[in-house]
Structure 1
Amino acid sequence: MKNLLSCFCLGFLLVLGCQSEPRKIVPEVPLVAVPAKIVAAKKTANHAATVLSKKEVPILCYHNIRDFSASASGNIKVYTVKPPAFAEQMKALADAGYQTILPEQLYNYLVFDGPLPAKPILITFDDTREEQFTIGAAEMKKYGFKGVFFIMTVSINRPGYLSKEQIKSLSDSGNVVAAHTWDHHMVTKYTGDDWNVQLVKPKAKLEEIIGKPVKDFAYPFGLWNTAAIPEIKKSGYEMGYILSTKRDTTDPLYTIRRIIVSGTWSTEGMMRSIDSSFK
């Protein structure tokens, strides 16, 4: 009993002692947020061999979007797609899950391994025809598609061709305006001042109209040679577009492949051509 009482008194004194001791103030340590890991964008450009080894993005090339008769020439039939067929093709692309990309995204994919959607596609138009705006762009808009419009500057404001206002509207609505020379003269025949007339001046004219840099160039008839590539580079273009011929192994960015969508193709034929041409 005596031992029990002693233990009780000792415990009581210890409690009193703890309560009487001044409280220690521990300074609050602020929480420091740990920054998220930032993955730096790739800065080293891919070599030509790497660019050539990458899976090609399908690129379609349209010219005229208008009706033609059964007796029309073979050339007209190849370069002209009827409006109902164009509408059907855009719907088929959307239904198949394709998403349009633009040249900047293609460039970043080829040069810096940038990301692409699961089923990317570029839709391009050559030769400045007015129906590319009134029918082409209007139809693509239904599916959120954007396109690339290669302009011959000699044609601007002429009847049946795009006006300055339409070109500006295309650019302002998210499409890309690009160069297709002054008058569709073959690049393989340029000499002397032709480079300035066909490459430099059209680029400056289009930039004046849209208020943005013009970085892309399409060869008339898809014809190119190695002598043209340094001149195209010097003129300030980042990429050059051909048709479905062999690419240059030294400068593949200046021989980007496209296929012409023929007016003789069915929609199913066009879809098959995409698969077979861009493996």
Structure 2
Amino acid sequence: MKNLLFLVSVGFFLLLGCQSDPHKITKEIPIITAPVKIAAPKKVMADAATILSKKEVPILCYHSIQNFSANASEMKKTYTVTPANFAEQMKALSDEGYQTILPNQLYEYLVHDAPLPAKPIMITFDDTREEQFSIGAAEMNKYGFKGVFFIMTVSINRPNYMTNNQIKNLSDSGNVIAAHTWDHHMVTKYTGDDWNTQLVKPKKKLEDITGKPVTYFAYPFGLWNKDAIPEIKKSGYQMAYILSTKRDSIDPLYTVRRIIVAGQWSTPSAIKAIKSSFNK
């Protein structure tokens, strides 16, 4: 019994010896926790009324950049600007303090109220004409301008029209390549497989050329109807451009206004038209 008490006593003192000094401060080991991920607030998309209430950005539409004779048809005169006048207009825009924007900037401004330059403008080209590359883009580059080229895919690589390489070059240089149907067949007449032929296939072809998504579309002749808008949305387009007619009250993003710069206008007339057409 005495041996048992002795062993218990020894064990008790040994146990006390293993304890830490009660006056000694033990350094705490920090607890490492995973960083808390805070989700970015979801952007609220503006409704149609809000989009329509915003100040419109001037958007210009060019077609041919060529010299033409005095006895040319009125249509040719309207849709054709001489190289000299185009050069003069680009300089005037720069001198006036305009800065070009692209469709993604316009979309963010309309939908999410993103800021724009003090004097924004968008320069667009329809129909794939070769001189839009060799004259138009070259002249714009002098002022750091970038544009939107609405491509009619049936015309690619044909005489007097842009090649695959030129379209790719425009895209790689910071311009936007967008769709303008396969063969300029007006949207208001589409039936059956026309939607696939005129909207889906051209989009895919341009994406194959540029290696980038194609999400913008321009109506041939600026003509549109309400039946077309759901098909354009379904085909993967984010915005669609008309000419100077009234925007749709329900889908303003699919009826973005532009004005044709007429060949009969002087440069002062063109600047005046820009200001008066988009003065809201």
- What's the TM-score once normalised by structure 2's chain length? 0.85
Per-residue CA deviations over 1:59-112 (Å, capped at 9, x if unaligned) read 000000000000000000000000000000000000000000000000000000
Give the whole-Å Cα distance in 1 for the aligned partners of 2:42 and 2:104: 15
Match of 1:60 in 2: 60
Give the whole-Å Cα distance in 1 for the aligned partners of 2:97 and 2:171: 25
Match of 2:31 in 1: none
The alpha carbon displacement at 1:41 in A equals 7.0
Match of 2:245 in 1: 245
Match of 1:31 in 2: none
Match of 1:104 in 2: 104
Do the aligned residues in 2 keep the contact of 1:42 with 1:112 (CA within 8 Å)? no
Match of 1:85 in 2: 85
The residue identity in structure 2 corresponding to 1:84 is A
The residue identity in structure 1 corresponding to 2:278 is F
Give the whole-Å Cα distance in 2 for the aligned partners of 1:224 and 1:103: 19
Do the aligned residues in 2 keep the contact of 1:133 with 1:166 (CA within 8 Å)? yes
Number of positions where the alignment pairs a residue of Structure 1 with one of Structure 2: 242
Name the Cα RMSD after superposition.
1.3
The residue identity in structure 2 corresponding to 1:148 is V
Match of 1:187 in 2: 187
Give the whole-Å Cα distance in 2 for the aligned partners of 1:176 and 1:234: 21
Match status 1:259 vs 2:254: no
Give the whole-Å Cα distance in 2 for the aligned partners of 1:125 and 1:240: 14
The residue identity in structure 1 corresponding to 2:222 is G
Runs of 4+ in 1 over 6 A off after TM superposition: none
Match status 1:95 vs 2:79: no
Match of 2:149 in 1: 149
The residue identity in structure 2 corresponding to 1:76 is K
Instruction: State the SS of the aligned residue for 1:143.
Output: coil
Instruction: State the SS of the aligned residue for 1:122.
Output: strand
The residue identity in structure 1 corresponding to 2:226 is T
Segments of structure 2 that go 5 or more residues without pairing to the other structure are 1-39
Match of 2:136 in 1: 136
Match status 1:44 vs 2:48: no
The alpha carbon displacement at 1:119 in A equals 0.1
Instruction: State the SS of the aligned residue for 2:88.
Output: helix
Instruction: State the SS of the aligned residue for 1:76.
Output: helix
Match of 1:208 in 2: 208
The residue identity in structure 2 corresponding to 1:231 is E
Match of 2:178 in 1: 178
- What's the TM-score once normalised by structure 1's chain length? 0.85
Do the aligned residues in 2 keep the contact of 1:66 with 1:80 (CA within 8 Å)? yes
Per-residue CA deviations over 1:144-190 (Å, capped at 9, x if unaligned) read 00000000000000000000000000000000000000000000000
Segments of structure 1 that go 5 or more residues without pairing to the other structure are 1-39
Pairing of 1:26-37 with structure 2 (within 5 A)? none
Give the whole-Å Cα distance in 1 for the aligned partners of 2:41 and 2:119: 23
The alpha carbon displacement at 1:52 in A equals 0.3
Give the whole-Å Cα distance in 1 for the aligned partners of 2:161 and 2:167: 10
The alpha carbon displacement at 1:221 in A equals 0.1
Match status 1:223 vs 2:223: yes
Do the aligned residues in 2 keep the contact of 1:187 with 1:220 (CA within 8 Å)? yes
